[in-house]
Amino acid sequence: NAGVMQNPRHLVRRRGQEARLRCSPMKGHSHVYWYRQLPEEGLKFMVYLQKENIIDESGMPKERFSAEFPKEGPSILRIQQVVRGDSAAYFCASSSGAGRAYEQYFGPGTRLTVT
Amino acid sequence: GENVEQHPSTLSVQEGDSAVIKCTYSDSASNYFPWYKQELGKRPQLIIDIRSNVGEKKDQRIAVTLNKTAKHFSLHITETQPEDSAVYFCAASKPGNQFYFGTGTSLTVIP
């Protein structure tokens, strides 16, 4: 199955710790999007990346959050000094960026709990 | 930026009846409108999409209509079944851009 992969699926962190969320796009996809979903709410865009480039980070909080998509390996969303309000499901989606470029396919998500 | 509104927020229908979910968008440059279904604790799954050069698209029991002039699009599910129960999200997008999602509709199909 060459679907979008995310790990870990569940992550528990204490306040002040760092959280690292990983996303491997579908095979052949070079565009990655990160979204955050609070309980019983919709999906909010955070950042859009292509290999080695951040295309749009307009949805990222200014502090503590960063993202990267290196030439090799998965995309990583990093949250430093987590707070309780960071508890949410974080989904990544990938797109081919060519042809039927608009379709985004979602990974299973990482559910972050900050205690 | 784009603003997508979705209604209703909750919808209950009897099995076999139709369900309609409506979305409006604000940016006339948006030209791609996907619909996602999300079951509890699962990932959003693309169920149907429409591009702005098309007014209607159908896939078995699911159809989507788009009115570009009025900037609204709708999801229609006919002959609903209990397994259609989920949260449905609409979205609007421009090429190479993020998706702007609606706030979701929780659909319950009552057997």
Residues A10-51: pLDDT tens digits? 999 999 999 999 999 999 888 999 999 988 788 999 999 999
A10: its two tokens: 């569940």
Question: In terms of residues, how long is chain A?
Answer: 115
| Position A100 pLDDT exceeds 80 | no
- Give tens-digit pLDDT for A49-91: 999 999 999 999 999 999 999 999 999 999 999 999 999 999 9
Answer whether A33 touches B (CB < 8 Å). Answer: yes
Nearest CA in chain B to A31: B96
Which amino acid is located at A74 in the chain?
Answer: P
Nearest CA in chain A to B4: A42
B-chain residues near A91 (CB < 8 A): 43-44
How far is CA A83 from each of CA A15, A74, A94, rounded to the nearest angstrom? 5, 25, 27
Model pLDDT, residue B2:
86
Q: Please report the number of interchain residue pairs, chain A to chain B, with beta-carbon separation below 8 angstroms.
A: 54
Q: Please tell me the distance from the alpha carbon of residue B87 to that of residue B100, in angstroms, as a whole number.
A: 16
